[in-house]
Chain A
Amino acid sequence: MADKRVNWFKYAAPQTFYLLAGRAVPWFAIAAVVLTAAGLYLGLWAAPTDAQQGDAYRIIFVHVPAAWMSMVVYLAMAFWAAIGLIFNSRLSSMLANALAPTGAWMTFLALWTGALWGKPTWGAWWVWDARLTSELVLLFLYIGYMALHAAIDDARRADRSAALVAIVGVVNVPIIYFSVQWWNTLHQGASVSLTKAPSMAPPMLIGMLVMSLAFWMYCFAMALARVRTIILERERHTAWVRKTLAVA
């Protein structure tokens, strides 16, 4: 049996992963483009105007996916940072590094689109509500992780220090997610969850799920494309990178 097992550690070698990721990126990118086109059609055209919020509600088709991804990417980043810290595996730390900018952009988009939704709906661009504040803290965690990593010259030392920030910051993710239940927030509760039927009309729900899938695919494509660049930067001294660069 043992000899039939896939040797997953093979893919932990940056050189192997570089090629694997290179083959995967175009597929994720194509999926992201196709799903975005479908999602935009559903969200901006096919879904009817909301009875209460008018067309302003259409912002959720980008707001909700961005907010979901801001948390999902953070969890993935902290996971890989922790694996890199525990097993001292370079590729894991590089993956954490590659995820951070994408997660930070997603967080920024969640905040930006939230402000543009809040103004017509609540009458305020921003309120210091638990959901909004914890999402802002998430943005600072991403920025802190990247700044700390950039401030330390030795890449492996930077990986370890930044990993601690990422891991400690994980506590903020459930705070964001459950903030609408734990505190009295202006932000509405979840319309979609795993435990109960969604409180949304089907065309709206489908549009939002398609857009969310599109954002997933985009984040995969970006993180994998970025990790390839990070591998090139960090493995410059190796023979295989030199060969790759010589050919390029």
Chain B
Amino acid sequence: MNGSGWSDFLAMGGYGLYVWGSFGMCVLVLALEIGMLSARRRAALQPDDADVIDNTGVGA
């Protein structure tokens, strides 16, 4: 693109809403998916007391 600066870049030749709406939603979805997975992983890593054999000397 031969734009003269940031405002031209952001305007995207008048299609800014559509272009940034697309790229923005991609960023949002990736952030959501990664966030949801890391929450799920944290939950899975949480040892529930009844479940874990106490071989560390801590807990239970």
Q: Which residues of B lie under 8 Å from residue A225 when comparing CB positions?
A: 37, 41
**Would you give the shortest CB distance from B20 to chain A, in whole angstroms?**
9
- Inter-chain CA distance A228–B9, complex, in Å, is 41
Q: CB distance A113 to B26 under 8 Å? A: yes
**Would you give the shortest CB distance from B9 to chain A, in whole angstroms?**
8
Task: Choose from A47, A55, A109 the contact partner of B13 (Cβ within 8 Å).
Answer: A55
Q: What are 29 pairs between A and B in contact, CB < 8 Å?
A: A40-B23, A45-B1, A45-B9, A48-B1, A55-B13, A56-B12, A56-B15, A56-B19, A58-B15, A58-B19, A59-B18, A102-B33, A105-B29, A112-B22, A112-B25, A113-B22, A116-B21, A116-B22, A120-B18, A218-B30, A228-B41, A229-B44, A232-B45, A236-B51, A239-B53, A242-B47, A242-B51, A245-B52, A246-B52
Task: Choose from B18, B22, B37 the contact partner of A222 (Cβ within 8 Å).
Answer: B37
Task: Choose from B1, B12, B44, B56 the contact partner of A233 (Cβ within 8 Å).
Answer: B44
Q: CB distance B44 to A246 under 8 Å? A: no
B4 within 8 Å of A (CB atoms): no
Q: Which residues of A lie under 8 Å from residue B44 when comparing CB positions?
A: 229, 232-233
Please give the number of chain B residues whose Cβ is less than 8 angstroms from any Cβ of chain A in the complex: 33
Interface residues of A (CB under 8 A from B): 40, 44-45, 47-49, 54-56, 58-59, 62-63, 66, 101-102, 105, 108-109, 112-113, 116-117, 119-120, 218, 222, 225-226, 228-229, 232-233, 236-237, 239, 242-243, 245-248
* Main SS class of interface, A: helix
- Inter-chain CA distance A66–B26, complex, in Å, is 9
- Inter-chain CA distance A162–B5, complex, in Å, is 52
Q: Which residues of B lie under 8 Å from residue A248 when comparing CB positions?
A: 45, 47
Q: CB distance B13 to A49 under 8 Å? A: yes
Q: Which of B9-60 contact A (CB under 8 A)?
A: 9, 12-15, 17-19, 21-23, 25-26, 29-30, 32-34, 36-37, 40-41, 44-47, 51-56
Interface residues of B (CB under 8 A from A): 1, 9, 12-15, 17-19, 21-23, 25-26, 29-30, 32-34, 36-37, 40-41, 44-47, 51-56
Task: Choose from A47, A55, A105 the contact partner of B33 (Cβ within 8 Å).
Answer: A105
Q: A45-B1, A105-B33, A245-B52 are in contact. Are A229 and B13 (CB under 8 A)?
A: no
